[in-house]
A = this chain, B = another copy of it.
Amino acid sequence: MPSPLTLFGLFMLPVFKLQMKIHTVEMSVRTSGKGTYEITDKVTEIIKASGISSGQVSVFVCHTSCSLVVMENADPSARTDLHAFFDRLVPEDTPYFIHTYEGPDDMPSHIRMCLTDVEKTIPILQGAMVLGAWQGIFVFEHRHAAQDRRLVVNVLGK
């Protein structure tokens, strides 16, 4: 009979292969003014490096003045209109805003963030995100000044 240690290895092999894993990576995105910045490829690379082939990925942005959107990534004009819409929906010169210490883009950035959210969870099958043909993941920057945005990507699965 093999030694207990050998048995242990043999017994554990299928267990480890079947076990759920979690793979967490922090990443930074440099933005240069208001707009949307695609990060789909970066998230795809993190999923590949994780070795996880089925499960889900959660992306989170650690800020209150930018957000995340899953948006059409084929024709840039869709994002031009998106930016224009949010500029009008939450104008920088809104007269009743009092939280304006950091400039006219301060309060609108928080509200636009709340309306589009700071996190997205996307399913993974066969090692890749199950995104629709035109879906991409974007950091939605609501500040005029350039920023280094910190994100956390959690890949979860087998």
Measured CB to CB, the residues of A under 8 A from B are: 1-2, 4, 7-8, 10-12, 14-16, 18-22, 24, 26, 54-56, 58, 60-64, 69-72, 75, 77-78, 80-82, 84-85, 89-90, 94, 96-99, 101, 107, 110-111, 114-123, 125, 130-132, 134-135, 150, 152, 154, 156-158
The 8 closest A-B pairs by CB, nearest first: A62-B132, A64-B72, A123-B152, A77-B99, A20-B20, A78-B99, A81-B99, A81-B107
Q: How many copies does the complex hold?
A: 3
The reply to whether B125 and A96 form a contact with Cβ atoms under 8 Å apart is: no
- The chain B residue with its CB closest to the CB of A111 is B85
- The chain B residue with its CB closest to the CB of A65 is B72
Could you say which residues of chain B place their CB within 8 Å of the CB of A78?
A: 64, 99, 107, 110
The reply to whether A110 and B84 form a contact with Cβ atoms under 8 Å apart is: no
The reply to whether B22 and A71 form a contact with Cβ atoms under 8 Å apart is: no
Could you say which residues of chain B place their CB within 8 Å of the CB of A75?
A: 99, 101
